[in-house]
Structure 1
Amino acid sequence: MADRNTLRTSAGAPWPNNQDSLSAGERGPLLLQDYQLIEKLAHQNRERIPERTVHAKGWGAHGKMVITEDISKYTKAKCLQKGVETPMLARFSTVAGELGAADHERDVRGFALKFYTEDGNWDMVGNNTPIFFVRDPYKFADFIHTQKRHPKTNMRSGAAMWDFWSLSPEAIHQVTILMSDRGLPQSPMHMNGYGSHTFSLWNDAGERYWVKFHYKTEQGHDFYTNEEAEKIIGKTREGYQERLFNTIENGQFPRWKFQIQVMPELDAEKCDFNPFDLTKVWPHDQFPMIDVGYIELNRNADNYFAEIENAAFSPSNVVPGISFSPDKMLQARVFSYADAHRYRLGTHYETIPVNRPLVEVHNYHKDGTMNVFGGVRTGNENAYYEPNSFADKGAAVEDRSAQEPPLKISGDAARYDHRTGYDDYSQCRVLVTKVMDEEQRQRLYKNMGGAMAGIPEFIAERWFGHLKQVDPAYEAGVRKAWNEANASGEYAANAAPITPDTPALTGGDAAGDGAQVAAE
């Protein structure tokens, strides 16, 4: 007989019987000393951990990043030098849906990448859209509340979503993308990924450049209509997982072209728009795309929970040569993402194998949940604080060569922090009137009008006011689709109670005409 593995308890003892409970007799009762049964039931009770507050439903795989072009004049990051190949993990997700939500729902998709570099982990935590709904982190928690369940009905509320969006004019560009064809990709392989935020690169000479990260699908932009997606959901709620897993398992490895847009540091003060505003794209004619390399996914996880559910991505994970910007949403995410992982996975979540960097880690973090690293974490058993006198005996010390250069821009608060002069409409206008063709516009009108069906009229009218400032034809097309959807009566999910005392029918800023954007 071939050698077989022995079933053991978590403490390592052989497990003699996994079929029958110990009892006082043939008819019971069970005995408390049956620790194997107790262990099995106790572990079952603890199999689930808190799901992510957002991006709960996700799909992922392992792969590699290959740099094919020389961008050393922009960055000293070792993982971004020509010829370097870096192992990586990708996780895609929907934003609003819970862990059991259907994959083929209209939603923004998360696009998170973890690169295991020789200088530690670099996480690129983005979406499949180059922008976002809001520009200030004060609004983020409230926005997410509108995407979750109504506290009384325990149902998603379209009224809440459109109320928030109609009171936040900066959302119109992102909502337009969400309601367009790109809002319902057929699979994770058929969508782009973006860092969305403005990040920075810095080189050996200490020069800083602002940067936008782009990952362009090489599989094409295939999408579903709402009607097609509804039929798929009727058959499977795991369509993305099935397609991503089976594609890789069958040896067809999806790829994305890695490109960047670059802006010299001081040019930020010359822009006719705020380059750190998450609701804005950088016009391609001003900041052309630069090829960097590609990413490829080529290996499925052996254990989904251990490698995908436990994966913790945070924009705070950067390496020398890559850093942040004054983007206010990015600044908030640098804290909030890592803190979410400390809550969900434990204080030392980065010691979980999938989050563990390739380099040996020495630091002075101490004790707490998930302290599983063992040994002398600081390099010397007497060095459990810093500064100390044991640097010449192995204790970890700082590396000043990893210090990024200081910011040179003025940090003009009046320019970047107040709402006066924000142009929330012109980039959206170019997208709808110049980038989309007529068939795409008609699908946009239908998708948006249908999503608005059943919401209070004053909210709809406020939103129509914003659409009209983008383009009168946009407002007319969505209004027509909204009326048709209302006439059909199929909008119960949008009718959650909302009864404000003073319905405001106008809002937003004057439209501008300055921005010109290229198709993303």
Structure 2
Amino acid sequence: MAVTDRRDPATKQIVLFKNMTTGPIAIMTTAAGAPINRHDTVTLNKRLIFNEFFMDTLTHIVRERIPERVVHAKAGGAFGYFEVTHDITDICKADLFSKIGKRTRIAARFSPAGTDRGGLDTAREARGFAVKFYTNDGNLDFVGFNTPMYAYKDPLLFTTFTRAEKRNPVTNLLDPNMLWDFILSRPETFHFFLIILCDRGIPDGYRHMPGFSIHTYQVANKHGKSYFVRFHFLTDQGIKNLKTDEARRISGLDPDYAIRDLYNAIANGNFPSWSVYIQVLTEEDVKNAGFDVFDVTLILPLDKYPLRPVGKMVLNKNPKNYFADIELLAFCPGNLVKGILGAPDKVFEARRLNYRDAQYYRLGGNFHQIPVNCPRHKAFPYNRDGQPPVHGNMGGIPNYYPNSFNGPVPFDEENAAELIQIYQDEPDNYQQARELYMNEFSPEERQRIAENILITLVSVARPLQERAVKFFEFIHPDLSNKVLRGLQANNTH
């Protein structure tokens, strides 16, 4: 049982519901609306198949689970708004940025990347940071991370990465041999894993966690001129993280620690917020950067491309029903709006396919018509039929385009920009990881990084340990020596 106190609305939710009602809220019915007689709530010595309450409830419960997300399966989430605080119309014509003070409704979902749906909120791993903006021009989805970079540059590695960090197909256990084999085979991943292995690897709940777009987006202003930006969501609560021992202690008391913390904060009126910034590059900046600014395994240096303030994200509303509001919340990076063209890198291109395919598999071909995924205005696609929900199924509107019978037509956009095409080199494997280790980590944090590496590395096969020691030499000899001494002290083989 989780440790609770008097300011714990999450634990008291069902009690609060009772206190808000004066008695049973309605006569109980079947799903078809037929009222249920009290004698039908007992089945002993009666014919089961003729009891519609029994048939209704028993056949439904085995259908109450939908496919779990392969990654980001467990999550907390909430609703709120984004408010523009600074004018960026000089670089982006998107309606949600059109004027200072403009508010746009949002839904946010925060999630450990590899944890199963019933796993721990305090695992050492990256977190997803996804925000859906319900704009006047349709939904805009940012699907980011709490790390400013990602693990790989070639999207073909998604399946390898995912399988390596998941369970061994024979033992059904997490296998450090698999994960370290992947890391050591793709050196560009270690820039990402340095963040996970350092003190930032276990956020102290979602409220104290930053978010990053990881992609460099192309945006355009009303004149059709393009700029390139990375989004930063910096927590106004201050960044807080958990040390390894503290996270282990909490996980034994409350595996849902981060979800509970977010829910209780909002329920108690302590609405979390994030200040939103962008890094801005011109086309000339892109050409003269000296590195691939679209490489998701790299950061854009802040001293070269400083943060420019944009707005504030506030979460002030908890889900009314977790399944309907958070589990069915579906993100697609291809959900873009006028003025935001997406990112030209291959990881973004692959995510446009991968996320959409995942939603079709989990939720069906009409997942956009699930209430939490609906745009704020009525949509007019030429899609029909299929797995519910279909709502009015577009009534008598023609179901093909083009047509001569007054069906929906496309609009003409003035000064429309097109997403650029780029050529991407092989990833830069070590430079930024070396700079991160040398320039941003204190001596104490460097020691803790080595200790966190050893937690899993001591149990892997000796050839992988030897490769790891050589690998860390390219990052920094200090890291390699710390790991080597740790392995020798453990003398595991």
Normalized against structure 2, the TM-score is what?
A: 0.92
Give a deviation string over 1:363-413, Cα, whole Å, max 9, x none.
101211124221526xxx25111000123xxx211112288412456x3x3
Superposition RMSD in Å: 1.8
Partners of 1:342 and 1:18 in 2: how far apart? Answer: 42
Distance 2:208 2:477 in 1: 32
Deviation per residue, 1:241-296 (Å, 9 max, x gap): 11111111111011111000111134322221111111011111211110001101
Partner Cα distance (2:375, 2:444) in 1: 47
Q: Residues 255, 481 of structure 1: CA spacing in aligned structure 2 closer, same or farther, 3 A cutoff?
A: farther
Instruction: Quote the residue 2:403 is aligned against.
Output: 388
Q: Deviations over 1:298-348 (max 9, x none)?
A: 111010110001100111111111122221101100111011001101110
The residue that corresponds to 1:156 in the other structure is 174
The corresponding residue for 2:310 is 292
The answer to whether the aligner puts 1:464 opposite 2:469 as a matched pair is yes
Alignment correspondent of 2:4: none
Q: Which residue of 2 aligns with 1:20?
A: 41
Matched, 1:437 2:449: no
Pick which of 464-473 and 247-256 moved more. 464-473
* C-alpha spacing 1:481/1:16, structure 2 compared with 1 (3 Å): same
Structure 2 letter corresponding to 1:453: V
Q: Distance in 2 between matches of 1:51 and 1:129?
A: 24
Corresponding residue pairs, total: 471
CA contact (8 A) 1:132 1:174 kept: yes
Distance 1:360 1:217, change over 3 A: same
Change (3 A) 1:223 1:36: same
**Distance (whole Å) between structure 1 residues aligned to residue 127 and residue 363 of structure 2:** 22
1:143-188, CA deviations, whole angstroms, 9 ceiling, x for partnerless residues?
0001111111111110100011001011110111110111111100
| 1:421-436 correspondence to structure 2 within 5 Å | 422-436=427-441
Question: Cα distance 1:407–1:107, how it changes in 2: closer, same or farther (>3 A)?
Answer: closer
Name 1:399's counterpart in structure 2: 411
Aligned counterpart for 1:258 among listed residues 270, 276, 283: 276
Match of 1:502 in 2: none
Q: 2:13 maps to which residue?
A: none
Q: Which moved further from structure 2: 363-372 or 13-22? A: 13-22
Equivalent positions of 1:303-314 (< 5 A) are: 303-314=321-332
Aligned twin of 2:488:
483
| Consecutive unaligned residues in structure 1, runs of 5 or more | 490-494, 496-520
* TM-score normalised by structure 1 residue count: 0.87
* Residue matched to 2:220: 202
1:165 corresponds in structure 2 to 183
The one-letter amino acid of 2:403's match is: N
Q: How does 1:82-93 map to 2 (within 5 A)?
A: 82-93=100-111
| 1:32 partner SS | helix
Cross-structure match for 2:17: none
Match of 2:8 in 1: none
TM-aligned CA deviation for residue 457 of structure 1: 1.6
* 1:4-57 deviation digits (Å, cap 9, x = unpaired): 52222211222223763356xxxx253311122100111111111111010001
Judged with a 3 Å threshold, the aligned counterparts in structure 2 of structure 1 residues 308 and 458 are, in CA distance, closer, same or farther, namely same
Distance in 2 (alpha carbons) for counterparts of 1:404 and 1:313: 25
Candidates 69, 82, 92, aligned match of 1:75: 92
Q: Structure 1 segments of 4 or more deviating over 4 A? A: 1-4
| Residues 119 and 320 in structure 1, CA contact (< 8 A), matched pair in contact too | yes
Matches within 5 A, 1:229-248: 229-248=247-266
Distance 1:408 1:197, change over 3 A: closer
What is the alpha-carbon distance in structure 1 between the residues aligned to residue 156 and residue 25 of structure 2? 57
Alpha-carbon contact 2:48-2:54 (below 8 Å) kept: no
Of 47, 64, 83, which aligns to 1:47?
64
